Amino acid sequence: MVNCVSIFSGAGGLDVGAKNAGAKIVACVENDPDAAETLRLNRTSIDNPEIFAVDIQSVDFTQLRTDEPTILIGGPPCQPFSKNGYWVKNDNRLIDEDPRNMIGQFLRAVSELQPSGFIFENVESILHPTNIATFERFLVEARALGYACTVYRANSADFGVPQKRKRVFVFGVRKARTPIPQPHPTHGDPAKPELMNGYQPYTGVGAFISKYASDDFREPQEDASNGNYFYELTHVPPGKNYIALSKLKGYDGRKFRTGGRFWNFLHKLHPEEPSITIAAQPGPWVGPFHWDNRRLRVPEVAAIQTFPEVYKFFGNRRSVQKQIGNAVPCLLGEKMVAHLIEYL
């Protein structure tokens, strides 16, 4: 059994994945009160860990260090990415602290806990040219602490999640001679048969959310019928967005210039295809919408993120959406943590 310390835990998506991969969650650190309460409500789903509902800067990770194999997992808030001037090494080779940027706190946790390995998770834009220097400095510091690092750009749909969601993972293994290999996808896009290579086809959302279609799960917030773009929404074909309106024959509603709106504007799910990325704070006409021309229900959003059916969320509707949207899909977390454990 490998112990696991989770930081920036959020609603616990990566934690659930770690448990399913065979790790034992011993501690979670999460400063947001609603997300911390969500973790408490689901203790049995994440091994009944000690929950530190405090600012991570107040946590002494040396107190969690043991002689047993341990991994550290987490996705720190890392804004502003482009402020590279804040990254200065001190005598301990750690990055100077900026309260707006928690990468330094992740490295401090690594330094104090001295885990056998770690998983650092973040948004794909951390590799953008305006942010890459910050990210590369993180790798330099992690390696200086004794960890061989592997960078992997993942799409959750490639691992059976019913959602196209791109994230960056760094696998760190202590005292490894060479970086571990990247994970191997298990699923592929059937629209690109030349790239399937024996993979299973992407998983559609229908199998995950159809059970929540009855009126028993109806929510007041799902009704979009009184909105400005409801007529347009009803004409968007499943699996498409606003761009499809300009190609419909006999359609007499508003049309929009291609590129004039964000790509997820009026995007509608197709039951046999993965969802687009679930947003933490979507605008009123940001998809995905259900193919029944309504907004998604909480259990549907959670299912697309592959949370267990029994998982509970604390807070108002906006808070719950934010918690779910910020989470790592549990199934993706399971695949990533299992890959790390394999090479410890």
Provide the pairing of β-strand 147-155 with 166-174.
Answer: antiparallel
Active-site annotation holds for 28: no
Angle at the Cα of 251 (from 248 to 252), degrees rounded to 5? 145
- Distance in angstroms (rounded) separating the CA atoms of residues 71 and 340: 9
Q: Which of 34, 88, 49 shows the shortest CA–CA distance to 316?
A: 34
Q: Which of 153, 171, 174, 199 shows the shortest CA–CA distance to 337?
A: 171
- Distance in angstroms (rounded) separating the CA atoms of residues 107 and 87: 12
The backbone torsions φ and ψ at residue 195, rounded to the nearest 5 degrees and listed phi first, read: -110, 5
Q: How many CB atoms lie within 10 A of CB 57?
A: 12
Structure tokens at 142: 């992690």
- Distance in angstroms (rounded) separating the CA atoms of residues 219 and 216: 9
Q: Which long-range contacts (CB under 8 A, 24 or more apart) does 175-181 make?
A: 175/146, 176/147, 176/148, 176/343, 177/148, 178/148, 179/148, 179/149, 179/150, 180/148, 180/150, 180/339, 180/340, 180/343, 181/150, 181/343
- Distance in angstroms (rounded) separating the CA atoms of residues 332 and 90: 35
Structure tokens at 241: 């967005």
Catalytic residue among 28, 78, 149, 330: 78
Burial of 68 (0-12, 13-18, 19+ CB in 10 A): exposed
The backbone torsions φ and ψ at residue 26, rounded to the nearest 5 degrees and listed phi first, read: -105, -20
List the catalytic residues.
78
